[in-house]
Amino acid sequence: MKLQSLLPQAIVCLNLTLLPNLSAEVNKTEKIAPDTYFHEGDLGRKGHCNNGWIVFNDYVLVIDGNFPSGAKEVIPKIRAITDKPIRFAFNTHHHGDHAYGNKVWAENGAVAVAHEGALAEMRHYETGLFGTKPGRWEEAAASRPDVAASKLHPPSLLFRQELIFDDGTHRVELLHFGVAHTKGDGWAWMPKERILFTGDACVNGPYNYVGDGSVKDWIETLEAVKKLKPRLICPGHGPTGGPEVLEQQQRYFRVLSGEVKKLVDARKTPSEVKSAVEAIKIIVRKDDTIARYLGGMFESQVEKIYVEMGGKPFEKAAAIADKHWKQAKAR
């Protein structure tokens, strides 16, 4: 599959009864704790991811690089809150909507930070910028003027398991728990506030692209992350929510995996599994806790799980997922 898919579909929000004042609006800055902010990006029209930022005593740490246009949209909002220098921009993973804006942050004084796996994935997929054939960057630049006018700026401050920012007032731990959405997912954890910024390893809506990770590992990684016992989840896409968002993200993949396993155990062929996609969708739709994750990438999600269980890829399934990505990135 090519590129992460960011479907511009309506968000079916959680019932945030435990957090009634934290239903973020697109393009609105929300103060979620002292000196801590969440900004839900305009995914539908611009392909932007969510951002967060923490104002330390001497500097600002930003969560996610966004696309260049997303970075330029968020920076004035940070400046309206504080004049402290923006020193670090954390890429939760290597995908374009979370890292292609790094040059904009660098021009504003920030160092791009990521798990070392994010840089490895960038070298693998953004190949044209590392001396081989054109890669995802070139493909994005063909339809996004903001990318075409910029240049890929890889993260240069890397960590393997954790990197900690602590000024005595605020503490942010950048953590890696294993493979999920990608092989280089990083999480930003604020232990005092019990706030977790997840990147696309946990989303709140129909935004699960599975092409660069492992659903099996993803489920296990989420189990490890749940042990943090967060109070507030700030996802890579979609509105904030309580700890149930982690649980429901995990449940969604568990339900899909369970249904696909039934077909694998019955020795169904790729075409038969593909034909069963709509039936599986009906099962998921009946579960109100996970129905909001249904979207245009559903068939490719079923295919991915089927392949992980030893099956063969569906015919044309990758092309369908790629179509959705091209529609989103052209916005």
Q: Position of tokens 């943090």?
A: 228
CB 42 within 8 A of CB 24: no
Is 214's pLDDT higher than 70?
yes
Whether residues 78 and 183 share a domain: the answer is yes
Q: Which pLDDT score, from 0 to 100, does residue 19 have?
A: 32
Same-domain check for residues 240 and 261: no
State residue 3's pLDDT score. 31
Q: Do 71 and 98 form a contact (C-beta atoms < 8 A)?
A: no
Let me know whether 222 and 279 are in one domain: no
Quote the CA–CA distance of 2 and 4 in Å, as a whole number: 7
Say whether both 85 and 223 belong to one domain.
yes
> How much is the pTM?
0.88
Q: How confident is the model at residue 320 (pLDDT cuts 50, 70, 90)?
A: low
b/e map 235-256, b = 16+ CB within 10 Å: bbbbbbbbbebbbbbbbbbebb
Q: Cα–Cα–Cα angle for 164, 166, 170, nearest 5°? A: 120
36/87 Cα distance (integer angstroms)? 15
> Is 100 inside a domain boundary?
yes
pLDDT, position 18: 29
Report pLDDT for 4: 34
- Beta-sheet pairing, 157-159 with 111-115: parallel
CB atoms under 10 Å from CB of 5, counted, come to 27
Does one domain contain both 202 and 244?
yes
pLDDT tens per residue, range 60-106: 999 999 999 999 999 999 999 999 999 999 999 999 999 999 999 99
Any idea what DSSP says for residue 313?
A: P
Element (H, E) at 306: helix 298-308
Instruction: Indicate the average pLDDT of the chain.
Output: 90
**Domain endpoint, select from 229, 250, 271:** 250
Cα-Cα end-to-end distance for the chain = 20
pLDDT of res. 330: 54
Confidence of residue 241 (pLDDT cuts 50, 70, 90): very high
Q: Rounded distance, CA 294 to CA 134, Å? A: 32
CB atoms closer than 10 angstroms to residue 164:
12
* Pairing label, strands 195-199, 111-115: unpaired
Q: Which residues contact 131 (CB under 8 A, 6 or more apart)?
A: none
Q: What is the mean pLDDT of residues 142-146?
A: 96
Residue 25 scores a pLDDT above 90: no
Confidence of residue 128 (pLDDT cuts 50, 70, 90): confident
| Whole-number percent of the chain with pLDDT over 70 | 88
Tell whether 164 and 208 lie within a shared domain.
Answer: yes
The domain containing residue 50 runs over which residues?
A: 29-250
Mean pLDDT of 207-217: 97
Residue 8 domain flag:
no
Return the percent helix, strand and coil in the chain, to nearest 5. Answer: 40, 15, 45
Of 196, 217, 250, which marks where a domain is finished?
Answer: 250
pLDDT bucket at 130, cuts 50 / 70 / 90: confident
Which pLDDT score is estimated for 8?
28
Judge whether residue 318 has pLDDT over 70.
Answer: no
Q: One-letter amino acid identity for 191?
A: P
Tokens of 107: 């021009």
User: Which residues, 6+ apart, have CB-to-CB distance to 330 below 8 Å?
Assistant: 143, 144
- Residues 288, 231, single domain; the answer is no
239: in domain: yes
> Is residue 134 located within the same domain as residue 172?
yes
Whether 145 and 98 have beta carbons less than 8 Å apart is answered as: no
Reported as a single tens digit per residue, the pLDDT across 269-305 is: 999 999 999 999 999 999 999 999 999 999 999 999 9
Q: Alpha-carbon distance 62 to 53, whole Å?
A: 4
**Contact call for residues 69 and 46 (beta carbons, < 8 A):** yes
Query: Residue 20 above 80 pLDDT?
Result: no
The reply to whether 142 and 49 lie within a common domain is: yes
Task: Report how many domains make up the chain.
Answer: 2
- Tens of pLDDT, residue by residue over 151-174, are 999 999 999 999 999 999 999 999
Residue 63's pLDDT is 98
